[in-house]
Amino acid sequence: MKIAKTYTFYTTLILLITIILLVSVWFGKKTEEERHIAQEQVSVFERYHAVLALEKTLIKKIVFDYSIWDEMVDFAHNPDLAWSKDNLEPMIETFNVSYIYVYTTEKKLVYHFNPNTHPLYTPNLNALSTQTPQFKEFFEFHDGKCIQFFLAPIHGDLDAKREGKPLGFFVVGRILDEAFFKNMEKITLGQSLLVEAKNHQPNSAPFHVELHSLSNETVGYIEFNYRPLVILFIAKLQNSLALSGIILLSIAFLLFYLLTKNMLFRPIYLISMALKTRHLNYIIALSKKNNELGEIAHLIYKHEKQKKLLEEYKEIIDENTIVSKTNKKGIITYVNDQFITISGYSKEELIGKPHNIVRHPDTPALFFKEMRDILKNGKPWKGIIKNRRKDGSSYYVKSIIMPLFTLDGEIESYMAIRHDVSDLFEKLELLQQENSLDLPGRKHLFESIENAKDPHLAILNICDFREINTL
């Protein structure tokens, strides 16, 4: 049986068993609905309380940041309406608050702001202790509405630890109206009701939050009531099912692992070791099996053998030829030792440089243009090139340059293989010099001298005769 079919069979079987077990757990959990609802009441109230604390922390940080500010100190002593319009009034909309107040050190109100939608109400700070004034959160009821205030002493930038005497007081207030409680219900899924202390009944709600005044007196309560909803039960049930599902799936995968260890994981391990160590003994037996992993092992075996053969070819070529490789722009990316030796440059001097670093000025630009045109068309170029060493001397190489392609058929780089033919060209130049002087070779000269009856010999320096002949 093929591996794919085996895995399909076992996967389907395990999934069916898992689904049956999950459905059984679901029916078992459904019978515990009442107990879940009671637990959820506590959970939702804690979430409600946490959201209140989070909002409090956010506004507290805002008030703290604004109260440690040299410009706020100046404003408390000399209110500037233009400054407040740019810096304080935007807080109403940005942070969803209702009132902004600034008091002097003597608790005298010097600035207040509230939008037209809310009537002005000024909190009384007489109960605030000025000995160690710190951040205060307090509540007050006015005209049937509850206002939550956040107060912080004002200090300069240099008194970030608030160790000095306060230079004023910054107060932000917000109305806990119907929209506020609707938003809380949307976030926490729990309903709440605002009640003044005089109207509170001790057993009216199992969960509530006390609201304190500036003098730490209880002035009201936020009573929390939970209505069990199907959505809450389903959410709790889903959590239980998820946990049960994880456990069951873990067991299922453990069984699946035990069943398929020898069929999948062991062959994969052998293939991995063969690729890491390049020892084909790991996969010789596996490559003879008639399945997908056996076919993969067989292909890897053939690939590694071909790769080893190519490496041997590369060593032979590197040992006897001059090899270099460039990218599409002609920048050198690889040179072998033969290239380094004949050019006189070090490897560091060559890598990353354009290939014209060894170009001889005698070679015309048209020669290289024709070469590039051929290579850009994806065809190899063959020919003899005159190059220049680092010391300025020249050498000749018989070259073949081939474009290397990506899997998409695009030219990726160029590989050049060369043979040094400098000796051949030196002999050719020597022969050309002799022809230009119209003189026989030395061997013929010596033979003529031996055969002459009365030879006369004159030795002349003919090094510059070629230049004379060209005149």
Overall average pLDDT of the 389-397 stretch:
92
| Whether 444 and 405 share a structural domain | no
216 Rama class: left (phi>0) / alpha (psi -120 to 50) / beta:
left
Q: What is the pLDDT of residue 377?
A: 92
Higher local confidence (pLDDT), 115 or 217: 217
pLDDT value of position 445: 58
Tokens at 389, concatenated: 């060493």
In a domain, 200, yes or no: yes
The 10s digit of each residue's pLDDT in 145-184 is 899 999 999 999 888 888 888 899 999 999 888 888 888 8
DSSP string computed for 352-387:
TSBGGGGB-TTS-HHHHHHHHHHHHTT--EEEEEEE
Match 């810096």 to its residue by tokens.
87
- H/E stretch holding 7 reads helix 3-30
pLDDT at position 240: 74
What local confidence, expressed as pLDDT, does residue 310 receive? 77
**Which residues touch 366 (CB under 8 Å, ≥6 apart)?**
none
Residue 200: phi and psi, rounded to 5, are -80, 135
Q: Name the pLDDT band for 204 (thresholds 50, 70, 90).
A: low
Q: Phi first, then psi: what are they for 378, rounded to 5°?
A: 85, 15
Same domain, residue pair 175 and 41: yes
User: Is 407 inside a domain boundary?
Assistant: yes
> Given this model, what pLDDT does residue 304 score?
75
Give the dihedral of Cα atoms 272, 277, 282, 284; nearest 10 deg.
100
Q: For 168, left (φ over 0), alpha (ψ -120 to 50), or beta? A: left
120 and 112 in contact (C-beta within 8 Å)?
yes
Closest listed residue to residue 415, CA positions, set 339, 309, 468: 339
Considering Cα of 424, then 426, then 430, then 436, what sign does the dihedral take? positive
In whole angstroms, what is the distance from residue 140 CA to residue 151 CA?
Answer: 13
Confidence of residue 209 (pLDDT cuts 50, 70, 90): confident
Q: Which residues contact 417 (CB under 8 A, 6 or more apart)?
A: 317, 321, 322, 323, 399, 400, 402
Q: Are residues 200 and 132 in the same domain?
A: yes
Average pLDDT on 284-302 reads 72
pLDDT in tens, 123-133: 888 888 766 56
Q: What global pTM score does this model have?
A: 0.42
Of 187, 213, 228, the one marking the end of a domain is: 228
Is 80 exceeded by the pLDDT of residue 449? no
* Most confident residue range from 188-192, 231-235, 422-426, 431-435: 422-426
Domain check: are 390 and 462 in the same one? Answer: no
- Mean pLDDT computed over 389-417: 91
pLDDT attached to residue 14: 77
Does a structural domain hold residue 456? Answer: yes
Instruction: Give the pLDDT score at 54.
Output: 86
Judged against a pLDDT cut of 50, whether residue 470 lies above it is answered with no
DSSP-assigned states of every residue in 398-462: EEEEEEEE-TTS-EEEEEEEEEE-HHHHHHHHHHHHHHHHT---HHHHHHHHHH-SS--------
Other Cβ atoms closer than 10 A to 461: 6
pLDDT at 469: 47
User: What does the alpha-carbon distance between residue 324 and residue 322 come to, in Å, rounded to a whole number?
Assistant: 7
Q: Are residues 166 and 67 in the same domain?
A: yes
Please report, for the domain that includes residue 37, its CATH number.
Answer: 3.30.450.20
Longest CA pairwise span in the chain (Å)? 153
Range of the domain at 463: 427-469
Is residue 346's pLDDT more than 90? yes
**Same-domain status, 329 and 217:** no
C-alpha 431/C-alpha 417 separation (Å) is 28
- Predicted pLDDT of residue 468: 46
Q: Is the CB of residue 220 less than 8 Å from the CB of residue 194?
A: yes
Please, which pLDDT band fits residue 454 given cuts at 50, 70 and 90?
A: low
Q: Comparing C-alpha atoms, which of 274, 259, 271 is closest to residue 295?
A: 271
Percent pLDDT > 70 in the chain is 73
C-alpha span between 357 and 125 (Å, rounded): 85
99 and 221: one domain?
A: yes
Mean pLDDT estimate for the chain: 79
What is the model's pLDDT at position 471?
42
How far apart (Å, rounded) are the C-alpha atoms in residues 352 and 329? 11
pLDDT of residue 20: 80
Instruction: Quickly state the pLDDT bin for 452 (edges 50, 70, 90).
Output: low
- The reported pLDDT for the residue numbered 83 is 92
Number of folded domains that form the chain: 3
Interval 252-257 mean pLDDT: 70
Identify the pLDDT of residue 409. 87
How many CB atoms are located within 10 Å of the residue 358 CB? 24
β strands within 16-64, DSSP E? none
**pLDDT of residue 407 exceeding 80:** yes
In this structure, the answer to whether residues 206 and 339 fall within a common structural domain is no
Domain boundary among 200, 228, 256: 228
CA distances to 141, 162, 195, 324 from 56, rounded to whole Å, are: 18, 20, 20, 70
| 326: DSSP letter | E
**Does residue 381 sit in the same domain as residue 339?**
yes
Q: With a cut of 50, say whether residue 285 has pLDDT above it.
A: yes
Q: Kindly state whether residues 94 and 201 are assigned to the same domain.
A: yes
Pair 216, 184 in one domain: yes
Q: What is the pLDDT of residue 29?
A: 65
Answer whether residue 11 shows pLDDT above 90. no
- 456 and 405 inside one domain: no
β-strand partners of 218: 212
Q: In what order do the strands lie in the sheet with 207-212?
A: 191-196, 218-225, 207-212
